[in-house]
Structure 1
Amino acid sequence: MHQNLLEEVETYFTGNTVSQTSVVVGESEEGVRKALGKITPLVLSSFMGRAERPGGPEVLWTLTHEAAESGVLPNLLTADTLHRRSDLMRALLGEAYGATVARIATATAIKPSSVETLLAIVAQAVLHRLAGYAALHDMNPEELFSFLKSQRSQVLEAMLPGSSVSPFQAEPDAARPARPQEVASTKLEPSAGTWAPVGGGHTYSAPTAAPVEVPVPPASRWAWVLALVLLGAGVEYLVMRNQSGTGRVSPAALGLTSAVAAPVENNAAGSKLSAESILPTAPGGHYDAALDTYIYDPGRPVTLTMIDGTSQTVGVNSTENRLYTFLASPTLQVDPVNRTKGWINFDRVNFDARKATLTDESRQQLRNVASILKSFPNAHVKIGGYTDSTGHWMANMKLSEERANAAMSELVAMGIGVGRLEAKGYGGKYGVASNATPLGRSLNRRISIRVTQK
């Protein structure tokens, strides 16, 4: 019964459909493909987030059946369908809708208005596919919800920076129809982006797209594109509906106005991340003698997208990126035997000297980690505290324990269940550098995190 929903949605967007859609929205085919690769996992994660809220399975059930009813031609050929899907995505993304649209537009060099149209089209396609799957397998709301949840790992993997799982790849030139017209790409401001301090490191903000006044495509132009996208799906649904005998479901209250905001951006070119890229052998950075602290180099900026749609821009070497990648990658598993493996150092969590008091800047990274853990509700982690070897070993053990507990308590205060967390202090044991130099001692004073259950 298992299917990959991302791949199923791909079958709706053939080369011809992408070409025609690019004409309608006034964008290049490459830009449309890139946008679809970002929008599809976003839409799926938004539906997952809504379905996990109280009454969510019934909401999902109602939406899919509504999509199936409106997805059968000729009822599909109306502006109302896309308007309702656009309103749905606005409700799901909440206040972050505008920022999400802007991020995708910047990353794919297409207009924000085009992103909005594509969001609506993909939302309809995803709901229509879910309806067909539910009809084929005679599912009830809870079973459909379970199927959607089973797609979590594929969706998260598609959101990983540098992911190569996006199915929307360019076809050979011979397989594509000629472009009827050339479309200018979105212009970027001269700025190459800005860096801003976050905790002990920095985050990167991408350049913003210059605003362009673009007329909204008439409903008659994009309605037939949606028809092309779902023509096969409509026929497929009719066949499966007749096989299963599924009847119409009366609408339920959807309750979307207070949905969790879900911005997205997971832009980074390259191949799929490997274990080596997640866990580098040596930290980059420098020792700050004035602060007596090691300042880690966060690396090039990447943007991580949580399952609820919220996003955070961090460095590729950051704790957040390494933790997120470990949790989201099916090939990376917890070692049940060697418990010294899998530790990830916090690179921006620091304490007052010889105290267990977190610095104000440290809470930003802990907030990021809490957000990641909320995206993986089955994950359990252990916090480890370490000191250098100066002073009495017993005092160091006590201090490291207090610091580990302080970090854990902060995560609990941020909404992570205490049953998912544990903390332990190791004192001066397991040093990563020599204690003979200030540099080495600064590296040994650290807080680390290890996933104990995925």
Structure 2
Amino acid sequence: MSLNVIDLIKGQLGPALVTQAASQLGESESGISKAIGGLLPAVVGGLANNSDNPGVLDAITNASSSGILGNLLGGSSNNSIISTLLSSIFGDKLGGLVNTIATFAGISNNSSSSLLNLVTGATIGTIGKYAADNNLDKSGISSLLSDQKGIISTLLPAGLSLASLNFGDWAKGYKFDNDNDTIKKTVQEEPKIEVTRSTTPTGTFPDRDTNKGGSSIWKWLLPLLLLLAAGYFLWKQCEKNKNTTTPASTTDSTTVSSDTAAVVSDTGATATTSKVDENIDLNGTALKGYRGGMEDQMITFLKSGDYKNAADDSALKDKWYDFDHVNFKIGSASELEAGSEGQLQNLVAILKAYPDAKIKIGGYTDKTGDEAKNIKLSGDRANFIKGWLDKQGVGSQVLGAEGYGSKFATVDAKATNEERAVDRKMSVRFAK
């Protein structure tokens, strides 16, 4: 089974980056997310369509050492490598792609162009890192890109297609887009019931002896046969419709169940997509955060006196606060996504304002992969944050860090990557 590189790249384009990009470009988070959802398969498709282009392979090979992933928002807009690469893979269709995505996502052309550079940087950076980590040479990278052709058209969001992006000439080699793979409409003919009409004056069948009473049988038998045939045809059509629609209903139900679980299990994730940063008061100091988000909840709890009055740690251990913006790069326990440090600095400010408060850090993963590795990864991430806080001078207030792997994950491992994202998080709780 070929690797879907889009799933890897999405790890670089998480909620924290979307929030930052929306703020920087003056667009809504939903518009940014929608644009990225359309640009990502287009960029991967462009690279796949040029999988044997030496310039493309050089750009990807060099991307892993260029540090492009560490500064996507700031370093991709004016990056000459990215500009040259985009011209190479899209040519005179580049402007049309920018315009189409802008219209599709409801954002400006300038924002669409900036996001195209950002997504391209994330794409070549991620593929380059994967190639370096797995010792792929240019031939291996070419094969990896070529493998993506079979899935690109199926990953475009509703409302976009290769044709709408003016990439119809990419068709050869793309799943469902081959000239030979065109799905032809099948016309199902209704069963034909031939009735021999009589030529005799009385309307009876020509070879029947009317004097023997045969006509009385056919007067009621023929309509009955016609009725049975019509009933059988209608029944087959109903069965066909039932078989066609039932799986779709089941799939929709499953999706709704997964979405519901995600909302119930992580109110912080819901707030992330529906709220914007506001000033959260910390004893006269304004912190940027979501109303009802991590900072707001922690400060409210401390001001209430509930922490001071808690008898011991057992009274605190069940209340966790999910980070809204702290995310690690895919597979890493030591590299934070852009925008993550802002919320960690807010946590430092809270701890310094309440020097008697103590906390514990928790790391969590989804249900995919080896559980032992998940526990190690989540634990390493929790300890990384603990070490980071220690460098900021509040280490004495961090009593512990622990990785729980998928122990508390709520979404099935077979769910989509987006649905499982609710289980991949970092959290903090008060401790004594």
Q: TM-score w.r.t. structure 1 length?
A: 0.35
In our comparison, the structure showing a higher alpha carbon Rg is 2
- Whose helix fraction is larger, Structure 1's or Structure 2's? 2
Q: TM-score w.r.t. structure 2 length?
A: 0.37
